[in-house]
Amino acid sequence: MALLPAALLAGPGRYARLGDFDGQVEVQLSAADAWMPAERNLPLPESAWIRTGPGSRVEIELDTGGAWRLGPESQGGLSDYARLSTGQRVTLLVLDRGLAYFTGESKGRDSLTLMAPGAQVGISKPARVRMEAQDLSSQVAVLQGVARFSSAAAEIDLAQGQTTRVEPGNASRFFLYREVTPLDADRWSAARDKALTTPVAALHVVERYGLADLDASGQWIQTEDLGVVWQPKNSEGWAPYRDGRWRWFNALGYTWVSDEAWGWLPYHYGRWTRHGELGWVWAPVSNSVFKPGEVFWMRGARVVGWGPLAPGEEWSPANMPAQYAGANLTFAAFQPDAPVIDPAGFEGRPKEPLKVTAFTEGLPSPAFYASRLDAVRPLVAPLLTGGGVRVAPDLPVVTQNTAPARAAPEQRAALPRPIVVVTPPPPPPDEVIVPVPEYVGAVIVTPPAQGASRSAQGAPKSTQAAPAIVAAAKPPAPAPVPTPPVNPPRRQPKRPKDAGEERAMNQFHRDFAQANLAKSMDDLDEWVRRYPQSDFADERLYDYMQVHSAAARPDKVLEYGAALMAKNLAGVFEDQQTLGVLYLVTVNAAAIPRPDNPQRALGKAAAQAMMETLPVYFEESRRPAAASEADWQKSRRRLESAARDTIKALGGQGGM
Least confident of 285-294, 571-580, 617-626: 571-580
**Per-residue pLDDT, 16:** 98
How many Å apart are CA 292 and CA 247, to the nearest integer? 9
Which is higher by pLDDT, 254 or 623? 254
- Locate the domains of the chain by residue range: 4-191+385-414, 200-364, 429-656
Average pLDDT over residues 130-154: 93
- Predicted confidence band of residue 626 (pLDDT cuts 50, 70, 90): low
Which is higher by pLDDT, 136 or 481? 136
Mean pLDDT over the full length of the chain: 78
Q: Report helix, strand or coil for 155.
A: strand
Average pLDDT over residues 201-230: 91
Q: Which helix (H) or strand (E) holds 146?
A: strand 146-150
Which is nearest to 281 in space by CA: 343, 204, 337, 339? 204
Give the amino acid at 430: D
Average pLDDT over residues 115-129: 95
> Is the pLDDT reported for residue 568 higher than 70?
no
**Per-residue pLDDT, 37:** 97
How many Å apart are CA 214 and CA 530, to the nearest integer? 37
* CA 186 centroid distance within chain: 18
Which is higher by pLDDT, 408 or 97? 97
- CATH assignment of 4-191+385-414, among 2.60.120.1440, 2.60.40.1180, 3.10.20.810, 3.40.50.300: 2.60.120.1440
Do 20 and 192 meet the contact criterion of CB atoms below 8 Å apart? yes
* Spatial CB neighbours of 367, under 8 Å, sequence gap ≥ 6: 337
Average pLDDT over residues 522-534: 91
**Per-residue pLDDT, 310:** 94
**Per-residue pLDDT, 407:** 44
- Predicted confidence band of residue 227 (pLDDT cuts 50, 70, 90): very high
Give the amino acid at 32: A
Q: Which residues pair with 67 in a beta bridge?
A: 61, 103
Question: Which pLDDT tens digit goes with each residue over 306-363?
Answer: 999 999 999 888 888 999 876 688 999 998 889 999 998 776 555 444 444 688 888 8
Question: Which pLDDT tens digit goes with each residue over 12-58?
Answer: 889 999 999 999 999 999 988 999 999 999 999 999 999 999 999 99
pLDDT > 70: percent of the chain: 75
Which is nearest to 624 in space by CA: 442, 435, 434, 436? 442
- Predicted confidence band of residue 435 (pLDDT cuts 50, 70, 90): very low
> Is the pLDDT reported for residue 373 higher than 80?
no
**Per-residue pLDDT, 306:** 93
> Is the pLDDT reported for residue 426 higher than 90?
no
> Is the pLDDT reported for residue 468 higher than 50?
no
Got the DSSP string for 63-125? Answer: TTS-EEEE-TT-EEEEEEEEEBTTS-EEEEEEEEEEEEEEEE---TT-EEEEEETTEEEE--S
**Per-residue pLDDT, 319:** 86
> Is the pLDDT reported for residue 139 higher than 90?
yes
* Angle at which helices 629-650 and 597-617 cross, to 10°: 160
